[in-house]
Amino acid sequence: MTSEPFSFRFHHPSRLRRSVLTVPAVNERALQKVPSLDCDAVIFDLEDSVAEDRKAEARDKLLTFLTNSDLGHRERIIRINATDTPHFLEDMNLILAAAPDAVLLPKVEEPVTVQDVADRLGEHAAAEGLRIWAMIETPRGILNGAAIASAGRTSDSRLDALVVGLNDLRKATGIPEAPGRTYLVPYLMQVVLAARAYGLDVIDSVSNDFRDLEALSAECAQGRGMGFDGKMLIHPAQISPANQHFGPDEAAIIDARIVANAFADPAHAGLNVINIDGRMIEKLHAEEATRLLAKVALIDARKDKSP
């Protein structure tokens, strides 16, 4: 018995997720700064950064802000409280009222958590097109990363991205915070592999000292090298380094144009492998080049709109 073929949603060429800034929903001053920031996405947080007795206040402030603000190109994600907390249902009501681009689920450890939220969203027309992001931040979440990512196989799962949360993982494993994240690299790579196996984007964890931009840059370079699409940030000062490190460099852009143009040449029609200056380039490289150039076009379009 053979299973039906499945077409993965590899990388959305129309979306950039280099810099994903998290903002406490209860912090009105921070909310008002968002429209002026050059981040690709914003996570409005109702979970860890909001005290228990201010959850309702945070929901009210966030709904007012999103209702009255134009965030332009910035992808809007709301991180809710876990499904087993007393805040979950009210958070879901806010999701339906605010209609963000995605809802971020904290501390996901089983695929059923993703599917349960997807089923709830599917009951409401207001949630059409709303995606799900899942935070992987516990030992069990790491171990079940592939199973969680596989929830993206179902057409109604809405799963779009995995986000690594290292602070909770460090606490649970006893691994201390240290430059290079040496003993955390295997866990990071497991999440990247799970995301890529099922066509999801994957976002690296925060760098906790927002004043240490050198450490941030090192983590961005490391994350880019491991295959992450971008980085979760905690301060506006971190946006520019993340955009730089997770954006395409000039050499990659030039090479992508060469590869794309070569495969577009009618002389190479029907070929899956061609020779470019002594390099054997496959069609998959042309697909990668096309995705990269789509990101370049988005970045350039944003620059053109800048004052």
Mean pLDDT of the residues in the chain: 91
DSSP 181-200: GGGGHHHHHHHHHHHHHTT-
Question: Does 211 have pLDDT greater than 60?
Answer: yes
Instruction: Please say whether the beta carbons of 27 and 230 come within 8 A.
Output: no
Where are the strands (E) in the chain, listed by range? 19-24, 41-45, 75-79, 102-105, 131-136, 159-164, 201-204, 230-233, 273-276, 279-282
What pLDDT score was predicted for residue 306? Answer: 58
CA 149/CA 58 separation, integer angstroms = 30
CA 40/CA 231 separation, integer angstroms = 10
User: What are the pLDDT digits (tens) for 243-287?
Assistant: 999 998 889 889 889 888 888 888 887 888 888 888 888 888 888
Question: Does 20 have pLDDT greater than 60?
Answer: yes
Q: How many CB atoms within 10 Å of residue 9?
A: 12
Query: Domains of the chain, with CATH numbers?
Result: 19-246 (3.20.20.60), 250-305 (no CATH)
CA 155/CA 151 separation, integer angstroms = 9
What pLDDT score was predicted for residue 299? Answer: 87
Question: Does 222 have pLDDT greater than 90?
Answer: yes
Q: How many CB atoms within 10 Å of residue 167?
A: 13
- The closest alpha carbon to 243, from 215, 220, 218, 209, belongs to 220
CA 70/CA 15 separation, integer angstroms = 18
Q: Which of 145-154, 256-265, 298-307 bottoms out in mean pLDDT, i.e. has the lowest?
A: 298-307
